[in-house]
Structure formats: structure tokens, C-alpha cells
Structure 1
Amino acid sequence: MRYFHVDAFAQTPFTGNPAGVCPLDAFPPAGLMQQIAAENHLAETAFIVPRPETTAEYDIRWFTPTVEIDLCGHATLAAAHVLFTHLGFAEKQVTFHSQSGPLRVAREADGRLTLDFPSRPPQELAAHPTGLADGLRATPLHVLAARDLLVVFSTEADVLALRTDYARIAALEYVGVIATAPGSHGIDFVSRFFAPRVGVPEDPVTGSAHSTLIPYWARKLGKTELRARQISPRGGDLWCRLREGGRVDISGYAVTYAAGELRVGAELL
């Protein structure tokens, strides 16, 4: 099985968010894909299969080390990078069909890749979920919710200072917790993302979280073009746009760290 290790939302190795990408002719059993993702031990491994009678459309599935998930940005960016860079994909745009509907990735002139993703605006909660403040070891200014919880702080320093209790965060009934604050020096907002509930204690750069961050900050700042930075230890930069029709654009670079083969016995396929 061919395999690529790609650092997404990165221009140099050892930054951004590493993802595994397995291009296949057909999906193997889900249990095997889960075992591969657990063995890779990256935040996500993407599996892609070409759709018949088309050259520009693929099916995509994503697995963390513990579960299959419904939306992943950085591994989709990584999958598009593999197609464009290593597999001779000649079109300017690829469409991935997923549990979250069609997701398009376009190749820009400057080398960036742009994800066309659903917008998931958060709604403010009347009360903070039980255990949230203990899990964060901090009290946010605002708490909102979409698929993930969105917790808003005053400053970037507040977000950097978070030392979360992963067990308490995992007990919350949300996929993950996005911590965010205004940015500075040309960055509109910063974030971190914690998802121990699905096997990812802290994700380095989270494309899917920006489906919620972009509509929130676009409304807050009164602008549709935004620069973002995820301030995890690895870190990554994103170019963001809120579009009409309930969609967002999330752009970034990607770099291949490794390419090779997974030696999976034929009897498991």
C-alpha cells in the first residue's frame, strides 16, 4: 500500500500538522484502516479512492488513532498535495466526497492549496458546560458551540498559557474544544484545538476547526478575509475567507516528509 507522510499548513518539515495519506483502488475494511491509523499515530490518516468514470473526483475517509471522523481539514489538504505533487494529477481542482459532503481543493498560483469547506457557525451557550473550566484550568470570556466547543479568551497569551486536563476535556460531549483569541501583527485570530475524546490530545493545526472559527471572527471583526495562526507547539498559518452560501475557504501550504509503502498482508485486505 502506497503511503505518504505530509506536513500540512506548513512550508518546512517539522511544522504544521502531519497527516498520513494512503491512495487506494478500493477501501479496505474499516477495521484495517483504523489499525493503520493507530499504527501511524498521527492526528489523522486519510484514505482516498478514485471515483469511476472521472479523473477529478475521489472518495475520502479519515481516521484518528482511535475513531473515524466526519471532517478533517489538514489531512484533506495533505491528500490533495499528494495528488498534485506525486501522482500526476493534472486538473486545477480535485473534489473529495466525504461524510460531510463534497469538499473541493484548488491549487493556487503561489503553491497554496485552498479547501472549500462547510461553514459551521457557533451559537453562544447560556451556561458553560459542567467541567469545562476545570478541564481548561481557566475561565473563558465566552463559550459557543457547533460540532466543537468554541471558547474565547481576551489575549493570545491566555490561549498560550492553557494547560488542559485532557481527561476532563474528553468527558465533554463535543468532538473537541477550540480555544481562540484576537491575534496581532497582521494575524486576525489565533487558536488551539484539543480533542482527547477522539484520540488527539492537542492537534497542531486544525482545518475543520476553522469551519467554526471563520464565521465567528468574520462576524466579530466585520471582515470576510482573515489571517489565522494556530499556536500549538508546532504551529501553522492559514489564509481564510467567509463565502456566501454557507461555505468557507481555508488555504495553506504542504510539504512531503516521507513516501514509501505500508507492508500490509494481502489476507487483511
Structure 2
Amino acid sequence: MAQPLPAGKLSVGTGWRYSKGGKHAAFDYPVEIGTSVFAVQDGVVLACNDGVTNKSQPGVVGAKSNWILLGIMHGGQKVSVLYQHLSPGLLVSKGQQVKAGQQIAKSGSSGNATGPHLHVAAMWGHRTTSTRYDYLINIGPKEKEPNGTAQNEICIFPPSLVYTAKKASGRVTSTSPFAAGDVFLDKLHFGSKDSDSVRRLQFVLNNVKLVQGRNLKVSGNYDIDTKNEATKWQLQIDKCKPGTLSADGNIGPKQAAKLFGKSYTLKAHS
């Protein structure tokens, strides 16, 4: 982020959509050229581009710019943070490991920009040069601003959700959108789709140490992978007997109370 770090003290210009309704799905911070930009978390530079002069080219789609794609971990999952419109002379290179708060660049006005600002986007997965704009894919004209994961299951919005994550006591990350909230018990079964309750379940399971455990995609879909991880929890943590209804991969009310903890509010029906 630009000075100061952590984020949240900087004003945001453009957010979820442009003023005319076009998709943006990122934060634009209007800062002067040369403002220090820092790594939001420990991570690795997945890709970057340098050497473009600070000449704004508003409306020129595909105009070259200076950018950094930083791979970090958030909530036990891989996340990519894109810094765009930087000044030439990046302070990092591809493959370099960086620490949270380490200066990586200076803000600029390169590429498709109306003026000096820092564009920051966040998305699930460690992205590549060719997929660094995937956070914009399949955002419909009527999709409302999310608070967590967009419907494309790629874009994290607001991106500041990954800026200042700190480990809380226990297994969750305090600033994750799925580290607290309502959990509807009727959604905690195989086959549920596009449910924040399932996203919260997937998030919690990702933060439990299980033998041969795997990292789940926080998709909101109670798929076979989610069912398998829930079964592992039932067998290993809840000590249920194999082959019983309590170890079938669907989370019941009593198990939900053990699994979710005080940060969540359990409700019977959605």
C-alpha cells in the first residue's frame, strides 16, 4: 500500500464501479507521483512490469503500465494483490520474497489512467501475467458490491480485506469476511450452493489442522471436497465413529456449535 500502512487511512477514489457504472472491482487511491508503496503482507513477487514512463493514457485499453503482482496468503489460502500505474524503477523483481511493510515501488501515472493514483485489486489464487485481470471476469452489470468474494469467486472486494489481516486467538483470521457472522444450519449439507454459511464453514475448515487435510476453495458450494474435509473433522476432531450419521460429512447443530465458536451466530433457517 501507499504510505501510510496499514491501509484504511487513505481516501478511496473509485471503488466497486466507475461513476458511469462500469466495473472496476478495485480501489483507486489518489496519491501524488512518487508516493511510497509497500507490501501489504509477507509474500512473493509473482510477476511485474517496469520501464514505462509516467504518461497517463486515459481510455487506452491495454496501454502498458508498471505493475506488481504480489502473492500472499490470507485465511489459509493463496491471494494475489495487483498494484497498478506505478512509477518506473520498481524496487523488486519477479520471484523476490518480500516482507509486510517493505517498500516495493513508488506510485505513478503510467498506463490507462486519468491521472496519478495507485490502483489496488485483490483476488483468490496466485495469478500470472496473463491472468492478473481475472478479478474483472464475469461481473454482471447488476451485481451489487460484495463484502468478501464477488460472484465470480475470484475478486475479493473490498481489497482492503487482505491488507491488515492479523492472526486472532484460535484458528481464524480476524479481518476475513468469513471469520464471523451468521451461519444457517440448514445450509451445512452436501449440495448447498452459493451460501455464505458454506463459505464460513470452508474458511473454518481451512484453519483446522487435519491429518491429510486439504485447502478448500471458499466457493460457497458444499461440494464433495467440502464434504470430505467435514468428514475428516468429524472423525479426527469430533471423534465420531466411521460409517455413522454423525460422520457423513454433513454438519449438524451440535457439531456446528463445536466447530464455529463464539465469533459466529448459529441460526436454524435461512
TM range (shorter): under 0.3
TM-score (norm 1): 0.24
**Where is the strand percentage greater, Structure 1 or Structure 2?**
1
Whichever of the two has the greater Rg, that structure is: 2
Query: How high is the TM-score relative to the length of structure 2?
Result: 0.23
State the structure with bigger RCO (CA 8 A, min sep 6), 1 or 2. Answer: 1
